[in-house]
Structure 1
Amino acid sequence: MLPRSVDAVVIGSGPNGLVSAITLADAGWDVLVLEAADTFGGAVRSTEEGGWISDRFSSNYPLGVASPVIRALELEKYGLKWANAPLPLVHLLDEDGAAAAIHPDPEDTAKSLGAEHPGDGDAWLRLYQQYVSVREPLLNALLTTWPPVGPGLKLARKLGSVGELLRFARFMAMPMHRMGQELFAGRQGPAIFAGNALHADAPLSGSVSGTMGWLLAMMAQDVGYPVAAGGSSAFSSALVRRAERAGALLIPDTPVTRVEVSAGRVTAVQTASGETVSVARAVIADTSAPALYGGLLPEAIIPAGLRRDLDERFEWDYPTVKLNFRLSGPIPWKAAEAQLAGVVHLGGTADDLVHVSADLDTGRIPAQPFLLIGQTTKSDPSRSPEGTEAVWAYSHLPRGIADDAAAEKLAGRMERAIERFAPGFADLVIARDLQRPSALESGNAALGFGALGGGTMQLHQQLIFRPTIGLGSARTFVTGLYLGSSAIHPGGGVHGACGHLAARTALRDASLLGPVTRTLPTAALRHLQR
């Protein structure tokens, strides 16, 4: 039986929802987390069967290690252990065995890049040294409320002059393709950046796409591409233990079907079983934006402008197709470095990937798709029986093409691509599990059409435009109701910042200064969305 009344309800127990619950409970609030599924974790979950552990959605977590929000929770005290492969990342350049590798030591990475083209190794070290010098204020700026005034000033001080600040701003605004051309002379550096950029959905020829490629590549050099030892559910379990230690109550198998509102303020939530929980202070929804505004709230109160923006302008990121393999042995890659990698990018040169990106953005299923491959047993030997390998691979479909037939077509191309780069791969397959976009969404309702990021990461749906035109905040037009998922700034990735920012906003609005901090923004938001 549910409690009749609490200070706050968090809808959903993905990493953002759990971080929200922790932040509120640490502040002394009475917090209830309601999860529709039978297990906690959202898109950070794994399953185990017969000694095989499969990460069902996300798997590698450089942002989880680097995020100041996650680091502050000290999850290692609650059972979380990170595991890394001998090499964080290998990018396969061609079918003849050419590859680019990020090594744990930046000097080794530089040596590898420099061997292909003199000067590229030095360029890599300069980039990494720059990243290390700005890492703390940069991550704080990227993962905080927009505009990031405090962290932005610290970043400016680190860079040292107005000129350097402007150069860095230009660098961050560059398209991925142009960034690779400016920074490197050989094939390896641009390919590493381009492959990392395709973790998101910004076109490689579009502005700011370089930021994702550079940032993830630098994180791979800094912290690797780690997995949670024992499966991704171990990450969520540590968050659950931390939330319970703070005093939050978490209940699975309890879908919330309605958020009740009276006189413009959130008052309660109702579950599928008909139970109602009154809310004294806040509701934080770790859901997709369409789920909150198109399902949980009464339709009659949705502002016309918001409804129109969601119907006509909200854009999901690419649908995902994921293959999970049980293999009788290691993949026989032609590129020897790939035998040691936790993550393998398969897709060719940066120029090749520009064509893949263009295909996706023009509605074509790529003939030669880009594959993101996780060799989880390389990182964590507990993932499969001795001598075997647990491996997953995912790729993307164009927006608007998420049907099962298209997923099957892409899956076939993915398997043939692996076979070309690793002849004999097919003979190793013990079992194959295909997660189509429909399966990903049915496994986690927040993954609309199999999209993993809560909405496109392109600039037109970031910052104050996320998820629609607004203020770059977790606030909604309903007082006390906050959107705390990857649907809000700063967007996709397992960093916990969206949930943390939503909880911090709720705490601030409920404080003695609340009437000051919330009245004007809420009024402005209602005006923008009317």
Structure 2
Amino acid sequence: MSTEVFDAIVIGAGHNGLVAANLLADEGWSVLVLEQAEKPGGAVRTEEVTEPGFRNDLCSAFFPLTAVSPVIRDLRLEDHGLRWRHAPEVLAHVLPDDRCAVLSHNIERTAASADEFAPGDGAAWKRLFAQWQEIREPLLDALFTPFPPVRPGLRLLRSTGTADALRLARMLTLPARRFGEELFDGEGARLLLAGNAAHSDLSVDNAGSAVFGWLLAMVGQDVGFPVPIGGAGELTAALVRRLTARGGEVRCSCPVTEVLVAGGRAMGVRDGDGDPIRARKAVLADLPAPTLYREMIAPEWLPSRLLDDLGRFQWDSATVKVDWALSGPVPWTAEAARGAGTIHLGTDLDGLSAFGGDLVRGRSPRDPFLLFGQMTTSDPDRSPPGTEAAWAYTHAPRGVMENRKVLNRQVARIEKTVEAHAPGFTDLILGRYVQGPLELAAHDPGLVGGAINNGTTAIHQQLFFRPIPGLGRADTPVDRLFLASSAAHPGGAVHGGPGANAARAALARAGRLGGGYAAVIRAANRAVYD
């Protein structure tokens, strides 16, 4: 039997792998995507796991960064059937005393909500959003390109001026709690920032957490938290349709066991049947960095310092997620929460600090901070009329929720928290689907130990420290092998940045820069790892 040959092989059909494959196919490359799961999509999938007729997103559900990503925008997935919807309100943060801060598509509505907590905070929110509007485009260009983003960075500097650029840089280092306290007098606006920061694995008291809260809050104010009509899986389906229309191929239930290397160069892969598949130009890995370097490549091809640094790689915290099929809308006592797609629940600012502190100490928080999604409120196609497809997730310490009894106790805490703010909620439950770390990794092996971000978002593992100290780029020490997962800069969430960066690096390596490009990368790797 002859060996199959493609220009590029992509390991993993998560959204980053599919983005990379599409960009290579756009350049006329023959591309094969190999996925060990039965279906493509990784963490971007939708299934009927609770009750028939209820479409639940297995992991990713709302897509604010997808909506503003220049990478996704340039793919024009709407031409391949993707359609978006929005909930009436973007987000609500319900405090323990049932007060509610609202992030709305309408900035006047958001400002009015902030003013309910402290007069004047609405005007401060408008000023913050005006700053975002001024720097939006150069900032997004800088965010989704390899680090350091030289040309986008210069455009950003021209947009802000030196003084404001320094203030922006300072903001990027702040804890979310401190950032909110500097801008606002009341807890409402502060919570809109801090609650969004808690989407990451960082405590609101960690340096660098402010940027996550600010970015998600500003994007939410700008374009909302949209959802694909029919489920998150429709985003994956559009990526696959676009790829196959350009001649690319996706093979599922086809694991890769090894990256084949000769003379320091990636030559292809070996599949689960032991058969080699050759890559003429590049191998791109949409895999966690530890999986790629420890399981897929023989150690003699890797610098010893890289393997040593990999021993200090830090995963993000684990996740517990519950999906429900509900017989009716959630009966929130906070009226403003009823129309929100995303709801933050269970804690105020002090509670967010305590929650983050418990996770750092490896303790399961007794009062979990919940992210709650009302999917039928956002997209009526998700469940039968008059019902609701909903979910909630919370972060948990690693290595704890694999115990089923502990996991069940956490699920009980989650439902108790929702019931406290929506009496009668549990009576509406027709079916539930629980995913702890083991279940998450079962449907997407990239979610190692229930980590949904492919490594901590802490500042010591971001930019040129991601996934380990190096270049902040997709290139690896193996020539023509590229890291295309969210383990690489710019990290997690569904925006396609890592996949696009890997595809661009592969094209540059094979294109006009040719061997000179490879020589530069090898020299840089030696400087870092030797």
TM-score by length of 2: 0.97
2:487 corresponding residue in structure 1: 487
Which has the higher mean CA deviation after the structures are superposed, 61-70 or 249-258? Answer: 249-258
For 1:359 and 1:67, the matched residues in 2 are separated by: 33
Q: Does 1:310 align with 2:319?
A: no
1:507 corresponding residue in structure 2: 507
Contact 2:347 2:368 in 1 (8 A): no
The amino acid that maps onto 1:381 is P
1:397 corresponding residue in structure 2: 396
CA deviation string 1:133-169 (max 9, x = no partner): 111111111111111111111111111x321211121
Aligned residue runs from structure 1 range 154-173, under 5 A: 154-159=155-160, 161-173=161-173
Contact 1:407 1:437 in 2 (8 A): no
Contact 1:91 1:100 in 2 (8 A): yes
Gaps of at least 5 residues in structure 2 are none
Which has the higher mean CA deviation after the structures are superposed, 447-456 or 515-524? Answer: 515-524
1:374 corresponding residue in structure 2: 373
The amino acid that maps onto 1:156 is L
For 1:409 and 1:314, the matched residues in 2 are separated by: 30
The amino acid that maps onto 2:66 is G
Q: Secondary structure at the residue paired with 2:333?
A: coil
For 1:134 and 1:183, the matched residues in 2 are separated by: 18
Contact 2:36 2:255 in 1 (8 A): yes
2:347 corresponding residue in structure 1: 348
Percent of matched pairs sharing the same residue: 47
Q: Secondary structure at the residue paired with 1:516?
A: helix
The amino acid that maps onto 2:390 is V
2:246 corresponding residue in structure 1: 246
RMSD: 1.4
For 1:412 and 1:522, the matched residues in 2 are separated by: 52
1:497 corresponding residue in structure 2: 497
The amino acid that maps onto 2:392 is A
1:72 corresponding residue in structure 2: 74
Residue 2 (structure 1) shift: 9.5
The amino acid that maps onto 2:445 is A
1:328 corresponding residue in structure 2: 327
For 1:396 and 1:204, the matched residues in 2 are separated by: 13
1:384 corresponding residue in structure 2: 383
Which has the higher mean CA deviation after the structures are superposed, 40-49 or 183-192? Answer: 40-49
2:435 corresponding residue in structure 1: 435
Aligned residue runs from structure 1 range 444-523, under 5 A: 444-523=444-523
Contact 1:397 1:407 in 2 (8 A): no
Residue 3 (structure 1) shift: 6.8
Which has the higher mean CA deviation after the structures are superposed, 510-519 or 369-378? Answer: 510-519
Contact 2:193 2:217 in 1 (8 A): yes
The amino acid that maps onto 2:493 is G
For 1:2 and 1:154, the matched residues in 2 are separated by: 51
Contact 1:194 1:204 in 2 (8 A): yes
Moved beyond 6 Å, runs of 4+: none
Contact 1:137 1:151 in 2 (8 A): yes
For 2:273 and 2:162, the matched residues in 1 are separated by: 59
Q: Secondary structure at the residue paired with 2:385?
A: coil
For 1:492 and 1:219, the matched residues in 2 are separated by: 16
Q: Secondary structure at the residue paired with 1:52?
A: coil
For 2:478 and 2:401, the matched residues in 1 are separated by: 33
Residue 453 (structure 1) shift: 0.5
Q: Secondary structure at the residue paired with 1:434?
A: strand
Contact 1:437 1:450 in 2 (8 A): yes
For 1:512 and 1:222, the matched residues in 2 are separated by: 39
Residue 416 (structure 1) shift: 0.9
CA deviation string 1:333-362 (max 9, x = no partner): 110011111000003222221111111111
Aligned residue runs from structure 1 range 234-273, under 5 A: 234-273=234-273
The amino acid that maps onto 1:60 is F
Contact 1:361 1:399 in 2 (8 A): no
TM-score by length of 1: 0.97
CA deviation string 1:459-500 (max 9, x = no partner): 111111111111111111110001100000000000001000
2:288 corresponding residue in structure 1: 288
Q: Secondary structure at the residue paired with 2:180?
A: helix
2:87 corresponding residue in structure 1: 85
Q: Does 1:62 align with 2:64?
A: yes
For 1:352 and 1:267, the matched residues in 2 are separated by: 52
The amino acid that maps onto 2:242 is R
CA deviation string 1:220-266 (max 9, x = no partner): 11111111110111010001111112221221111111111001001
For 2:253 and 2:397, the matched residues in 1 are separated by: 33
Q: Secondary structure at the residue paired with 2:55?
A: strand
Q: Secondary structure at the residue paired with 2:125?
A: helix
1:99 corresponding residue in structure 2: 100
Contact 2:201 2:395 in 1 (8 A): no
For 1:177 and 1:31, the matched residues in 2 are separated by: 46
For 1:445 and 1:120, the matched residues in 2 are separated by: 44
Contact 1:2 1:275 in 2 (8 A): no
For 1:166 and 1:491, the matched residues in 2 are separated by: 23
Q: Does 1:189 align with 2:189?
A: yes
The amino acid that maps onto 1:459 is I
Residue 203 (structure 1) shift: 2.3
1:122 corresponding residue in structure 2: 123
Residue 524 (structure 1) shift: 2.5
2:210 corresponding residue in structure 1: 210
Contact 2:301 2:478 in 1 (8 A): no
For 1:325 and 1:211, the matched residues in 2 are separated by: 32
Residue 79 (structure 1) shift: 0.6
Contact 1:191 1:348 in 2 (8 A): no
2:408 corresponding residue in structure 1: 408
Contact 1:374 1:391 in 2 (8 A): yes
Number of equivalenced pairs: 527
Residue 130 (structure 1) shift: 0.8
